[in-house]
Amino acid sequence: MEPYVKITANDDVTQIPSFQQGFNRRWFAENLQAIYLCYTGEGVAAALEDAISLYGRNVKIKGGGHCYEDFVYNASTMAVIDVGPLGEVGYDEEKGYYLDAGGTNWSAFKVLFRDYGKVLPAGSCYSVGLGGHICGGGYGLLSRLNGLTVDWLTGVDIAVKPDATQPAKNVYVSMDSVGAEENLFWAQRGGGGGNFGVISRYYFKTLPDAPQRALITTVSWSWSDLTVDNLFALLNAYADFASQPDNWNQFGLFKLNHSANGEIQLVLQTALQNTLTERDLREKAVQDFLDDLFKICPHRIPQNPILGFAGAHIHPSSAPTVDYTFYEAVQTLNGSGANQRGKYKSAYMRKAFPYKQVATLFEQLQIIPDGLTADDMKQSLLQVDSYGGIINQVPSDATAIAQRSSIMKLQYQTYWTFEENDPAHLEWINGFYAAMYADTGHVPNPDLDPTDNVDGCYYNYCDSHLNDVVGRDGALRLYFLTNLERLVDVKNQWDPNNYFNSRQSIPTSLGDC
């Protein structure tokens, strides 16, 4: 097999338009000249060398293509290094489990689970690429129990070009590396894709055992029954659930849908090992939690399909809680949704929502922007994921993910179809966010929060609009907090010529943008 195949825009190849766009239909690389399909790790380094020699800093890396912003596909993109063809999963006696960077959450899960009974505590949407997901700190429904993907990461193969006069080369950096290589490895543990080089393979000396079964609970509350007071109480109870130490095998997705959707929805996954006693205990714990919530506000079985992580539909059953085999549970929750236009924003929270924020979100989730209809807002929501658990037992500087004391992670989302509706959706979501963080500079800036609640943003839920509010350095500070300086050092060591760049890439110095 060729190490890589290069296709140029002039080739008569039917795939060209599909190579110019990823999952978010807002982004398109209209000036793309070349795609490098990489079939081996050596191919990645060779492709990178060829691409940089021809296109300089206009070379982008594509894993699964699920970047929320235009970091891969934009007007300046001349070449794309596509690691998609790299899809091996296996076990190496010396380096442990390995996952090629071109795989997806689903392809990795299938092999790790089937052949080894292991899992990566990654996201649930099947089509998300490991390329950007893991190095950005990927998390999912097992993360309260097992931590972040990067907490298990022990090595990577990465193609780098630190010296413009030398060809790009592959390096293996790991937990055992020292000096500059140790720094490079550290940066792959949450410092994000598109910053330092092209990862071809991830290694994990060990991985968590897969659960045997999982309970999935789905309930909803009608918007017609909601008030600021009972929503505040529901969210308080949820924050309490997220902060408890004895339920880390449970993960919640609380979808505060726009009122146009008619209802807000809670999905809970309870991962189980095999004993019947454990199952009974857990079922009781789930029921006790639901009873507490139902006392606050009457619930119902969801009337609408539940929106998954990013627009996917989970079809609820007629019973609130269903006992699944673990494989079935992953299948049930693994939708990615349709390719649409989308905009996302994020925030970490260390405590429950203050009343004032609940009043704000209650109001914002009922706004129909000018030019849009209620139907247009049905897919707009604030998703509140439970977080914490074992994630918070890792020191803030052990990996590039600094947020190690949050109990909830928020994702603001809105989806739509037509370009003409871009301004209205963007204005709504940006305004919603600014209103939520009015007291902390319109962003979740922990330095401006005397209550020690908000704790910045998540790089994998990238949001270019932060640059407009607090500048690029300010945005990077929100993502990486006190780890930002070390990432800048790594950038200088491994990509001083800034070949790997985007509107929110790690710069070679702070304060110059």
Ligand X SMILES: Cc1cc2nc3c(=O)[nH]c(=O)nc-3n(C[C@H](O)[C@H](O)[C@H](O)COP(=O)(O)OP(=O)(O)OC[C@H]3O[C@@H](n4cnc5c(N)ncnc54)[C@H](O)[C@@H]3O)c2cc1C
Footprint on this chain of ligand X (rule: CB under 6 A): 22-23, 60-68, 71-72, 83, 101, 123-125, 128-129, 131-133, 136, 138-140, 193-194, 198-199, 309-310, 336-337, 460, 502
User: What are the start-end ranges of the E strands in 261-397?
Assistant: 263-272, 306-307, 313-314, 321-325, 341-349, 381-386
The residue number with the shortest CB distance to ligand X is 193
Nearer to ligand X, 263 or 463 (CB): 463
Q: Are 97 and 90 in contact (CB under 8 A)?
A: yes
* Token pair 């880390």: residue: 248
Cβ closest to ligand X, residue 107 vs residue 270: 107
Shortest distance, position 277 Cβ to ligand X, whole Å: 31
CB of 203: closest distance to ligand X in angstroms?
Answer: 14
Q: What is the rounded distance in angstroms from the CA atom of residue 218 to the CA atom of residue 223?
A: 16
Q: How far apart are CA 295 and CA 237, in angstroms?
A: 11
Asked if 120 contacts 108 with a C-beta cutoff of 8 angstroms, the reply is yes
Least distance CB 371 / ligand X (angstroms): 26
Q: 194 vs 388, which CB is nearer to ligand X? A: 194
| Identity of the residue, 337 or 444, whose beta carbon is nearer to ligand X in the bound complex | 337
Which of 377, 395, 372, 17 shows the shortest CA–CA distance to 190?
395
Q: Which is nearer to ligand X, 201 or 299 (CB)?
A: 201
Angle at 322 between CA 318 and CA 327, to 5 degrees: 130
| Tokens linked to 357 | 């924020």
Instruction: Spell out the SS3 assignment of 139-150.
Output: CCCCHHHHCCHH
- In the DSSP assignment, the letter for residue 478 is H
CA distance 223 to 378: 12
Q: Which of 223/458 has CB closer to ligand X?
A: 458
Shortest distance, CB of residue 385 to ligand X, whole angstroms? 8
Residue 199 phi/psi, 5-degree rounding, is -80, 130
Rounded to a whole number of angstroms, the minimum distance from the CB of residue 226 to ligand X is 26
CB 207, min distance to ligand X, A: 17
Smaller CB distance to ligand X: residue 193 or 208? 193
Nearer to ligand X, 33 or 339 (CB): 339
Q: Nearest distance from residue 84's CB to ligand X, in Å? A: 8
Best CA proximity match to 339, nearest among 36, 27, 16, 15: 27
Distance separating alpha carbons of residues 499 and 161, to the nearest angstrom: 8
Token readout for 139 is: 């998390």
Please, is 513 exposed, middle or buried when counting C-beta atoms within 10 Å of its C-beta (0-12, 13-18, 19+)? exposed
Please report, in angstroms and rounded to a whole number, the separation of the first and last CA atoms in the chain. 44
Measuring CA to CA, which residue among 513, 457, 508, 501 is closest to residue 71?
A: 501
What is the closest distance, in whole angstroms, from the C-beta atom of residue 261 to ligand X in the complex?
Answer: 18
- Which CB sits closer to ligand X, 170 or 440? 170
Closest to ligand X by CB, 123 vs 444, is 123
| Whether 470 contacts 464, CB under 8 Å | no
Question: In angstroms, what is the minimal distance from the CB of 21 to ligand X?
Answer: 11
C-beta closer to ligand X: residue 131 or 389: 131
Q: How far is the CB of 337 from ligand X (least distance, A)?
A: 6
Shortest Cβ 72–ligand X spacing (Å) = 5
Q: Which helix H or strand E contains 174, and what residues bound it?
A: strand 169-174
Which pair of structure tokens corresponds to residue 507?
């710069």
Minimum separation from the CB atom of position 198 to ligand X (A): 5
Identify whether the C-beta of residue 134 lies closer than 8 Å to the C-beta of residue 122: yes
β-pairing verdict for 59-62 and 79-82: parallel
The residue among 379 and 502 lying less far from ligand X, judged by its C-beta, is 502
442 in Cβ contact with 422 (< 8 Å): no
